[in-house]
């Protein structure tokens, strides 16, 4: 720019900025000096461009702030020098404004070649010649770097979790809303996972909130590593996380991913306050099968998560229409737990613990069960899931100790009774007093009561824990360190506490049963450690003869598990101990009983566009057994409707009267809860295209088939049983 042009620009700026009457008394030199001072102070910066958009003038202070040579900027297109700051989301605004030849203000930009540096706010005003021709822009600039970053941080705090850096609840809701809205129009799938940490509260309460915060940070980092595909991960608050996975409905892939998350989360954590292990449960829902809106899909994933936690934790579940009734009933059970205590609906079953040398029962481990007036018997496994985390866990523990002592009074004095102690009960002020009362009321020797104490109690107040342990030792009851080898294990616990025995974690025992020399080596190390400290060792959950012999070779003294006996009732104990000694010979044919599940249920099979209602007798990954149709030849193909949009193509490979054996074209997959499901489901969008409402398929209801007018090829051998399913 010529000196004349520069003076013209500055004079024009001066006339706008300096409107006091005294300004007219200033010489051109004084005005230039004043503008120089104004530019150098940062209170006013100026820029100009010609009609083609090339920069013709720029305050040297701006170039200095941008850390770019002024001579390299002049003559360059303005849009190549500045670019909109990302947070503004206006990447195209500056070129559009310049092209429109209209005034603009408040444009946040930074140097295109130095993104992340200084941020400026530009304003510009177009200039026109006397004949109306566009002559370029004149404008001002201001440094807003600090203000910009403060606003960015404020905005970030409203959208991201301050602890983990993940998306927060608000941002996840917005993101899922927007995604599902767009995906509905495009008929695309989207999965949502709800993840809840198991035993986190226990760590938070015992190690402190600082340790809990650090643990959450490490969990967030592991989630990021576990999910190696496009996703959005958020922390909703507390120990609850959420993951959105677009364009996926393959439940095989989702199940593998959920299991990977569970496996990574349960690996040990090293914190400043100590080492700990937690777990994770995962609920999975898929749009549009399990809902179309965010509210529907998230609610479905929540129900699946609740079912996963109730199913034993450290597992995943897919949503199904049956979960809602299951969830409602489970909550009702938790609410009725107080009634179960007051009305004496609880009872104990006892699992024998055998001396490895003599095969004699030396102890019976108490398990709490519930005789529910509507549900019937709720076994020890399901009851443990109901009571875990309940505010009544301590009350149930007190009842179990008192009841176990009363029952032990009826047994030979050589047999002990073992009771698991909830952490909340152990840390209660009156715990030791209650134990003493239970022993005295039953009239048994204190050494016949064996209290199984989790390592988690050591995360509590050290003074309370040490005082309780010393008082129990003085009382004379036996103490067992439970779940040793689960990840919390520390020699410090064994040095502090007067334990009589160590109970090896059942998961470690199970791994040792898979011919894992490393795990057996750990068992040997635990046995050697216990021997050095003059403690006994206990291993439970033994199912195979091979594992039994391996544990004996390792030197484990006390053994238990299905190979000896499942938990038994009062009458069985009375009969077995009638002779004074109860010996159990391990049975190679014994194994842990499978949890009872419904085997028979009604389903539909489809052939030649006609749907038949049959009874599903059993189901495996590769096939099924159905009953109800007559004269079905081998080689017949069916589409098996397992409900909820689950359709599996199958061929009849066996036919005997009204029973047919089917082989699936594509194998079923694990559903995370011991059941089976199809890898994919019929899309509700496909159903909508056929004229039905856009909604998930209902159980056993393949829309439109029976209305097709097809003639049935097979007859019913017997009426479908209405009482099944």
Same domain, 370 and 447: yes
Helix (H, G, I), strand (E, B) or coil at 177: helix
Residue 351 sits in the same domain as residue 490: yes
CATH number of the domain at 626, please.
2.40.10
Q: Is 154 buried (19+), middle (13-18) or exposed (0-12) by CB count in 10 A?
A: exposed
CA distance 616 to 612: 12
Name the residue among 141, 92, 97 with its Cα closest to residue 121: 141
* Residue among 134, 40, 55, 127 at smallest CA distance from 94: 55
Residues 124 and 184 in one domain: no
User: Has residue 76 been placed in a domain?
Assistant: yes
**Is pLDDT above 50 for 698?**
no
Kindly state the DSSP code that residue 68 receives in the 8-state scheme: -
In a domain, 635, yes or no: yes
Domain count, the chain: 4
Q: Which two tokens stand for residue 268?
A: 């040990």
pLDDT band at 15 (very low <50, low <70, confident <90, very high): very low
Q: What is the pLDDT of residue 28?
A: 67
Q: How many other C-beta atoms lie within 10 A of the C-beta of residue 392?
A: 16
Digit-coded pLDDT (tens) for 398-447: 999 999 999 999 999 999 999 999 988 998 989 999 999 999 999 999 99
**Does the residue 36 lie in any domain?**
no
pLDDT of 18 reads 37
Same domain flag for 370 and 462: yes
DSSP classification of residue 101: T
Q: Which band of pLDDT confidence, cut at 50, 70 and 90, is reported for residue 271?
A: confident
- Residues 26-49: b if buried by 16+ CB within 10 A, e if exposed: eeeeebbebbeebbeeeebbbbbb
Domain range for 289 is: 160-330
Give the DSSP per-residue string, 577-638.
Answer: TTTS--B----TT--PPPPP----EEEEEEETTEEEEEEEEEE-SSEEEEESEES--TT-EE
* Residue 591 predicted with pLDDT over 70: no
**First-to-last CA distance in the chain?**
88
Residue 91 lies in a domain: yes
Residue 32 lies in a domain: no
Strand partners, 480: 452, 501
- CA–CA separation, 424 and 625 (whole Å): 48
Same domain, 353 and 450: yes
Q: Which of these three, 330, 353, 370, is where a domain ends?
A: 330
Tokens of 245: 């996975």
CA distance 171 to 232: 10
Give the CATH number, domain containing residue 487.
Answer: 3.20.20.450
Give the pLDDT band of residue 253 (cuts 50, 70, 90).
very high
| Residue 164: band (very low, low, confident or very high) from pLDDT cuts 50, 70, 90 | very high
Domain harbouring 103, CATH code: 3.30.450.20
CB-based contact 500:473 (threshold 8 Å): no
Residue 681 covered by a domain? yes
193, 307, 381, 390 from 282: Cα distances, Å = 7, 9, 20, 20
The predicted model gives 82-105 an average pLDDT of 75
| pLDDT tens, residue by residue, 352-405 | 999 999 999 999 999 999 998 877 788 887 788 778 767 888 999 999 999 999
* Boundary-marking domain end, from 310, 330, 350: 330
- Say if 4 falls within a structural domain: no
Residue 9 scores a pLDDT above 70: no
- Taking the C-alpha atoms of residue 108 and residue 103, their distance in angstroms, rounded to an integer, is 15
Spatial separation of the C-alpha atoms in residues 571 and 588, rounded to whole Å = 25
Torsion of CA 518, 520, 522, 525, to 10 degrees: -130
- Tokens describing residue 478: 């036996």
Backbone φ and ψ of 606, nearest 5°: -115, 130
Residue that terminates a domain, selected from 123, 151, 179: 151
Instruction: Residue 206: give its domain's CATH number.
Output: 3.30.70.270
Same domain, 278 and 242: yes
Residue 585 covered by a domain: no
């Amino acid at each position: 720019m010529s000196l004349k042009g520069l003076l013209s620009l500055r004079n024009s700026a001066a006339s706008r900025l300096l409107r006091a009457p005294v300004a007219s008394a200033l010489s051109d030199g004084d005005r230039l000096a004043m503008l120089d001072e104004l530019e150098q102070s940062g209170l006013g910066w100026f820029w100009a461009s010609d009609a083609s958009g090339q920069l013709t003038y720029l305050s040297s202070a701006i170039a200095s702030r941008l850390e770019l040579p002024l001579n390299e900027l002049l003559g360059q297109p303005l849009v190549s020098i500045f670019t909109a700051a990302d947070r503004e989301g206006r990447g195209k605004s500056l070129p559009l404004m310049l092209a429109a030849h209209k005034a603009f203000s408040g444009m946040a930009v930074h140097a295109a070649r130095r993104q992340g540096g200084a941020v400026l706010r530009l304003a510009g005003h177009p200039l026109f010649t006397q004949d109306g021709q566009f002559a370029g822009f004149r404008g001002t600039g201001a440094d807003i770097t600090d203000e910009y970053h403060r606003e960015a941080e404020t905005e970030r705090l409203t959208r991201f979790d301050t602890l983990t850096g993940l998306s927060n609840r608000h941002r996840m809701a917005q993101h899922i809303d927007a995604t599902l809205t767009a995906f509905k129009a495009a008929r695309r799938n989207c999965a949502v996972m709800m993840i809840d940490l198991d035993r986190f509260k226990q760590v938070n309460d015992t190690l402190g909130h600082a340790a809990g915060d650090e643990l959450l940070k490490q969990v967030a980092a592991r989630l990021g590593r576990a999910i190696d595909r496009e996703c959005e991960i958020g922390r909703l608050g507390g120990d609850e996380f959420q993951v959105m996975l677009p364009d996926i409905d393959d439940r095989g892939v989702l199940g593998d991913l959920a299991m990977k998350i569970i496996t990574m989360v349960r690996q040990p954590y090293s914190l400043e306050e100590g080492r700990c292990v937690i777990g994770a449960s995962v609920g999975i829902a898929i749009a549009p099968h399990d809902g179309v809106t965010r509210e529907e899909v998230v609610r479905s994933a929540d129900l699946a998560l609740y079912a996963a936690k109730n199913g034993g934790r450290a597992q995943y579940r897919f949503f199904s229409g049956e979960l809602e009734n299951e969830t409602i009933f489970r909550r009702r059970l938790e609410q009725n737990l107080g009634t179960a205590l007051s009305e004496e609906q609880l009872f104990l079953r006892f699992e024998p613990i055998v001396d490895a040398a003599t095969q004699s029962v030396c102890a019976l481990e108490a398990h709490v069960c519930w005789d529910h007036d509507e549900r019937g018997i709720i076994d020890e496994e399901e009851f443990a899931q109901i009571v875990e985390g309940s505010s009544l866990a301590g009350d149930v523990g007190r009842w179990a100790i008192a009841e176990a002592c009363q029952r032990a009074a009826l047994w030979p004095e050589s047999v002990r009774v073992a009771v698991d102690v909830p952490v909340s009960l152990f840390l209660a002020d009156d715990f030791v007093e209650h134990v003493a009362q239970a022993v005295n009321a039953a009239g048994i020797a204190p050494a016949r009561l064996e209290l199984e104490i989790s390592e988690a109690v050591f995360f509590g107040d050290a003074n309370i824990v040490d005082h309780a342990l010393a008082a129990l030792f003085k009382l004379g009851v036996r103490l067992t360190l439970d779940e040793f080898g689960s990840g919390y294990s520390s020699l410090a616990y064994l040095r502090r506490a007067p334990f009589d025995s160590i109970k090896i974690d059942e998961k470690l025992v199970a791994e040792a049963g898979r011919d894992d020399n490393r795990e057996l080596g750990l068992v040997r190390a635990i046995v050697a450690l216990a021997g050095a400290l003059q403690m006994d060792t206990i291993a439970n959950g033994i199912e195979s003869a091979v594992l039994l012999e391996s544990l004996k070779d390792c030197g484990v003294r006390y053994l238990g598990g299905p190979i000896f006996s499942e938990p038994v009732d009062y009458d069985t104990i009375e009969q077995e101990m009638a002779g004074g000694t109860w010996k159990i010979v391990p049975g190679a044919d014994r194994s842990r009983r499978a949890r009872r599940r419904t085997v028979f249920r009604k389903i539909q099979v489809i052939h030649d566009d006609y749907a038949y209602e049959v009874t599903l007798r059993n189901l495996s990954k590769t096939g099924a057994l159905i009953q109800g149709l007559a004269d079905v030849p081998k080689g017949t193909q069916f589409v098996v409707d397992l409900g909820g949009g689950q359709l599996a193509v199958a061929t009849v490979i066996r036919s005997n009267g009204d029973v047919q054996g089917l082989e699936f074209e594509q194998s079923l997959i694990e559903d995370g809860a011991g059941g089976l499901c199809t890898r994919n489901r019929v899309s509700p969008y496909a159903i909508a295209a056929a004229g039905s409402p856009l909604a998930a398929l209902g159980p056993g209801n393949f829309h439109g088939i029976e209305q097709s007018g097809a003639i049935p090829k097979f007859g019913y051998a017997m009426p479908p049983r209405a009482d099944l399913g």
